Structure 1
């Protein structure tokens, strides 16, 4: 859907002004962690991780990868980084919610996007794993000159992993400041947390 006003720029480009082919190339540079995770439960974990490479592979290679996983060293390395290398060949539906969330992060690690959009990427993780996941995501896109844009509802994660906070309420920007300029009380007030 086009914006009702103004323009949207993604990695310096206006997607509405691109050809279908160039738009596909642009979206291949954008990695996402959806709140619903967008994983295929019946597939093995390694296949869900390899979905991060589909934009780089031909249709034949993608289909063959369902029979014999392609890019296995990279997929296993990504799973190792999220602590799930030993689960690579299990069906994804057998994993816990937190484990599935880490599979979605491993998918991004093999994709190596220039921009990461993450909707609550640590909601199903315990505090230690949440910090680890945000650290991985925070290193991923900026290492390629891009950025991580994350919707987070935990002020502690915001404080530890974000440079800037853009707060929305009822469709309007109500806060837009560097994290370093915000006190814990400012964050608590915005998040509606009582201290």
Structure 2
């Protein structure tokens, strides 16, 4: 991102953001509610367009990218959305399989709704998140934490080059939070890829990431490698008036 500004209506969500993330990094994006964390991640999928500045993802400038090329790029980006982006009326197998839709032709995606494709791979991904027995349950009958793990399983199945996770553990207990972060880190590392995660808990950032980027009112005010940070540093970041 170079000198990026994003406006949502009259609100300036990001302002003057310069950020370069290299392949293989595990970056935690931290900040208070409304700081711009979710907007920053949505910018990287092309769901939000910058008012000014440039955004490059996996070597491609998103500005003016044709729809077909953008679809191909998104197939290489796995996203765990804050609101999960699941279809509650579908079976879990279908919601997990959605991670592969970007690589399937339309006919196969349609067929999979009638007869799920690649069931062994879906079952394996669900087993990794502790939901091996939920393959054919309706997604909306799962708890919030279970649905969050379905969203993680979808990314595990996708095997992307870039993993974006927006509060991926907000509905999970501490043990499942750590397990989920390890899974997301591992799926990124399998392809030598990158993980960007917006995190509410700074302690989770210190345990699972290699770098911390702090946002305040849409601006980057902290950017440091984890070994250079302490819990006290992050506490000061959250508590300092700006």
TM over 0.5: yes
Q: Where do 1:18-167 residues align within 5 Å?
A: 18-167=65-214
CA distance in 2, matches of 1:111, 1:100: 17
CA distance in 2, matches of 1:103, 1:7: 33
Which secondary structure state, in structure 2, belongs to the residue aligned with residue 46 of structure 1? helix
- CA offset digits 1:174-195 (Å, max 9, x no partner): 10000110011001222349xx
Q: Unpaired runs of 5+ in structure 2?
A: 1-47
Residue in 1 aligned with 2:61?
14
Q: Unpaired runs of 5+ in structure 1?
A: none
RMSD of the TM alignment (CA)?
Answer: 1.4
Post-superposition offset of 1:129: 0.4
CA distance in 2, matches of 1:102, 1:149: 17
Contact 2:75 2:100 in 1 (8 A): no
Post-superposition offset of 1:2: 3.7
Which secondary structure state, in structure 1, belongs to the residue aligned with residue 68 of structure 2? helix
Number of aligned residue pairs: give it: 193
Deviates more, 1:12-21 or 1:154-163: 12-21
Contact 2:184 2:195 in 1 (8 A): yes
Which secondary structure state, in structure 1, belongs to the residue aligned with residue 148 of structure 2? helix
CA distance in 1, matches of 2:148, 2:225: 28
Deviates more, 1:133-142 or 1:73-82: 133-142
Contact 1:112 1:140 in 2 (8 A): yes
Residue in 2 aligned with 1:176?
223
Residue in 1 aligned with 2:21?
none
Runs ≥4 in structure 1, deviation > 4 angstroms? none
Could you say which structure has the higher strand fraction?
2
Contact 1:155 1:191 in 2 (8 A): no
CA distance in 2, matches of 1:84, 1:152: 23
After TM superposition, the score normalised by the length of structure 1 is: 0.95
Contact 2:74 2:102 in 1 (8 A): no
After TM superposition, the score normalised by the length of structure 2 is: 0.77
Deviates more, 1:135-144 or 1:167-176: 135-144
Could you say which structure has the higher helix fraction?
1
Post-superposition offset of 1:17: 4.1
